[in-house]
Amino acid sequence: VQLVQSGGGVVQPGRSLRLSCAASGFTFSSYGMHWVRQAPGKGLEWVAVIWYHGSNIYYADSVKGRFTISKDNSKTTLYLQMNSLRVEDTAVYYCARDLSSGWYGVDYWGLGTLVTVSS
């Protein structure tokens, strides 16, 4: 299982950023996928999950209405579109695979990509 992330960086408050996660080594269309973040020096915070088929999507309250998770099974790629970014969104963002459809929690993690929201 490989999860290769890209798209992080420094962005001003209120702006947008899109994270990508290219998956390989497993049947991408059969697994749910997550985004999890970790602010500097803080604990893990679950951000969003998309079911294996893409029809069930759930978000943490802290990002609901601002972030959009999506997956392209043909490209075996997971995305996180982040709009109206806030300083408190600064964190390392991890792409992660679910143990199964989306219910069961994360088993494999990407290496993470740092998003810094600062003016």
Which residues contact another protein by CB under 8 A? 34, 36, 43-46, 49, 58-61, 94, 99, 103-112
Determine which helix (DSSP H) or strand (DSSP E) holds 33, and give its type and residue range. Answer: strand 33-38
What's the CA gap between 2 and 23, in Å, rounded? 6
Q: How far apart are the first and last CA of the chain?
A: 37
Q: Minimum distance between the CB of residue 108 and another protein, rounded to whole angstroms?
A: 8
Q: Minimum distance between the CB of residue 101 and another protein, rounded to whole angstroms?
A: 11
Smaller CB distance to another protein: residue 14 or 105? 105
Smaller CB distance to another protein: residue 44 or 87? 44
CB contact set of 53 (below 8 Å; sequence gap of 6+): 29
Q: Minimum distance between the CB of residue 66 and another protein, rounded to whole angstroms?
A: 15
By C-alpha distance, which of 114, 113, 95 is closest to 2? 95
Amino acid at 60: A
Smaller CB distance to another protein: residue 18 or 42? 42
Smaller CB distance to another protein: residue 9 or 105? 105
Q: Minimum distance between the CB of residue 14 and another protein, rounded to whole angstroms?
A: 25
Instruction: Give Rg (Cα) of the chain.
Output: 13
